[in-house]
Chains A and B, each alone.
Chain A
Amino acid sequence: MEHREGIEAGKTLLADLEDLKARIKTGDPESIKEGFLKVFGSKAAFQYVLLALEATEFENFARQIVSMNTWIDIAYNHFNDGRSPQVQHIAYGIKAVKRLVELLEESGRAWNED
């Protein structure tokens, strides 16, 4: 498994989070539900790659992973409670995923230099 695969999986999750944000703005519950399931699928794939890359061993990665999971879950719980999920919660999730992608890019570069 290479860092490139982690970056790709992170970018897929970012695209699905952006898609979810757009779905939330439509207010259509079925579409939002579908958007959340896509996010959970791509987040699971991303975490799988992070494990394979042993990125989860590092505290700077772990903190962002906790942040990503927390904000996505808070948004999902809002939705399940019949409240409108806050776009802001998803935005915090996006911020954490973006940082994870940056960390992967940085460690990928360091790996190649070695």
Chain B
Amino acid sequence: MKSPEHNLEKLAIEASKMYWEACHPVYTEKSIKAAKVLLANLEDLKSRVETKDLSRIGKGFIYVLKSKARLQSTLNNIEKLLYGPYCEPLFCINFWLDIAYNGFNQGRDPYTWGHAIESVIECVKDLLDIFEGRERRVEPPGSFD
């Protein structure tokens, strides 16, 4: 039989874990705002791609990279990011964005990578659905399943 001290110790660990998680939520209002800014910058990038102006597209990518960095910085608790429900959409956002950015850097025709931007948009919307407690509409592109 475990000693009362053992149980107390276990309770203290649990309480400290709950307190830490309450003080460090994975996302906050700032994350929701940051995700919306990222969404707007992705839509802006999509319209820049249509112009085929490389300098404008390059700038559009920088705005997107900056706002994605902002979003990631508003998220706390990296363990939960790695194992929680946020992992999949975040993974897909980064992944599709890198596919598009690599296509652009390689000088490939936007026809071959433009769709990846659309996938990033879907993944940011998916993340927003999770943040705002909505039912996830569709399976995000490139999910693990």
Contacts and interface: CB of A to CB of B under 8 A. Distances in A.
Interface residues of B, number: 25
26 contacts: A40-B65, A44-B99, A44-B101, A44-B102, A45-B105, A47-B98, A51-B99, A56-B91, A56-B95, A56-B142, A63-B82, A65-B91, A65-B95, A66-B81, A66-B82, A66-B87, A66-B91, A69-B90, A70-B90, A73-B68, A73-B71, A76-B69, A77-B66, A77-B69, A80-B69, A80-B70
A44 B81 contact: no
Interface of B: 65-66, 68-73, 75, 78, 81-82, 87, 90-91, 94-95, 97-99, 101-102, 105, 142, 144
A74 interface: yes
B69 A57 contact: no
Is chain B's interface secondary structure helix, strand, loop, or mixed overall? helix
A12 interface: no
Interface of A: 40-41, 43-48, 51, 56-57, 59, 62-63, 65-67, 69-70, 73-74, 76-78, 80
Contacts, number: 75
Contacts of B72: 69-70, 73-74, 77
Contacts of A74: 69, 72-73
